[in-house]
Amino acid sequence: MSAMDCDEREPKRPALGPPEARAQRTWESVDGRELGPVVQLNVGGQRHVAARSTLEQSPYFRRLLEMKVLMDASGAVFIDRDGDAFAGILDWLRTRELVSSHRPCDSELLQLRLLKREADFFGLDGLIVAVDEAIAAATATVPPTEQKILSTFLFLESGVQGTPLKLVTELQNGWRVQQLSATCESGGDGGLYCTFVLERPHADGER
């Protein structure tokens, strides 16, 4: 057999090309409908695993898993988003709860805002509302309060405690009773001498 015959039988192998071209061959496009009940994800370089039924609660994944998806060499579907924030996305899809500190620090508020951005991308309106409420509660200003002590004599009429005009007036002016104590009881006039601790928020320009 001549050298020419060998050349005709064995096709030439393509050159490997630059490193970028060789790396590209480790990725493949697959039909998302053929993925199993558990889906591996590569989100911005971070690995996540979730049930297909969990992912399909997001409009984004419902569409994605019905079309061609890009899969890396390990068999994970590639999603070009923030891998850290995606953990919060998965947690919401699984539990429908947003867990956050009552008074989050600045870095936690930043994470909430990043989570809201990702929630918008994945079409999770409920999570957007939950994040907005958490941020609003965390950044709300608690108004200072003022207190006063009101001592008054309460008459008891037929076993029912009467309400003095003075106390009614205070309550109408925005005060509320925080504490009530009976300091003494009269013997024959059917009344109690009581002390009220009243509280209300500071009004603008008023002390």
State residue 101's pLDDT score: 72
Is 88's pLDDT higher than 90? Answer: yes
H helices of 36-191, where? 52-55, 59-64, 83-95, 106-121, 125-139, 165-172
pLDDT per residue as tens digits for the range 151-183: 555 544 444 444 455 555 556 566 666 565 655
Is 126's pLDDT higher than 70? Answer: yes
H helices of 10-82, where? 19-24, 52-55, 59-64
Highest mean pLDDT (candidates 45-59, 95-109, 151-165, 189-203): 45-59
Is 15's pLDDT higher than 80? Answer: no
Is 41's pLDDT higher than 70? Answer: yes
Confidence of residue 14 (pLDDT cuts 50, 70, 90): very low
**Phi, psi at residue 137, to the nearest 5°?**
-65, -35
**Phi, psi at residue 104, to the nearest 5°?**
-65, 150
d(CA 35, CA 40) in angstroms, rounded, equals: 9
Query: Which superfamily does 25-139 belong to?
Result: Potassium Channel Kv1.1; Chain A (3.30.710.10)
Is 132's pLDDT higher than 80? Answer: yes
State residue 139's pLDDT score: 78
